[in-house]
Copies of this chain bind each other. A is one copy, B any other.
Amino acid sequence: MSSFMQAAIEEAQCGLAEGGIPIGSVLVHQGRIIGRGHNRRVQQGSAILHGEMDAFENAGRQPASVYRESVLYTTLSPCPMCSGAILLYGIPKVVVGENRTFMGDEALLRDRGVQVETLQDETCIALMRDFIAAKPALWDEDIGV
């Protein structure tokens, strides 16, 4: 596995250790992590800080040229909100840890020209499978169900 997906998994594990939802993400520009984050729903009472959004936020204000040379790594298939952020900023490639426990808006991303690579990584799958089993209502809240 790439060190970038490993960094995203470490973010997810950090979120879990904080009592949060175990989804992590890193934004990588030309081989360097410029933003890393994890879901903050529980920790900050946030409705918008999914893992990917937190990585975008922590990367700070960037010009379009940087986003267009960046790859987003995320432990879970990106939901419609996070997919929209990927489209807004013209991220050309997304590496997804898994989409077995939740299928996000990958079809929309591909329709609009984003390269989506899905790993079906067992660590990512186990993180979400165990979390959903333990806290189904919290997970439903996070995805608007």
- A60 x B45 contact (CB < 8 A): yes
| A144 in contact (CB, < 8 A) | yes
| A33 in contact (CB, < 8 A) | no
Q: Is the interface of A mostly helix, strand, loop or mixed?
A: helix
Given contacts A84-B80, A85-B81, contact A145 B47 (CB under 8 A): no
The residues in A between 47 and 95 inclusive whose CB is less than 8 angstroms from any CB of B are: 47-48, 53, 56-57, 59-64, 67, 79-85, 87-90
- B144 x A67 contact (CB < 8 A): yes
Given contacts A82-B84, A83-B84, A88-B81, contact A47 B62 (CB under 8 A): yes
| A121 in contact (CB, < 8 A) | no
* Copies of this chain assembled into the complex: 2
Residue on B nearest A60 in the bound complex, by CB: B45
| A46 in contact (CB, < 8 A) | yes
| 18 A/B residue pairs, CB under 8 Å, sorted by A | A41-B61, A45-B61, A46-B57, A46-B61, A48-B57, A48-B85, A61-B141, A64-B141, A64-B145, A79-B84, A79-B88, A80-B84, A80-B87, A80-B88, A81-B81, A81-B85, A84-B85, A108-B108
Query: When A and B form their complex, which 8 residue pairs have the shortest distance between CB atoms, in order from nearest?
Result: A84-B84, A80-B87, A80-B84, A81-B84, A81-B85, A89-B144, A81-B88, A80-B88
Interfacial residues, chain A to chain B (CB-CB below 8 A): 41, 45-48, 53, 56-57, 59-64, 67, 79-85, 87-90, 105, 108, 140-141, 143-145
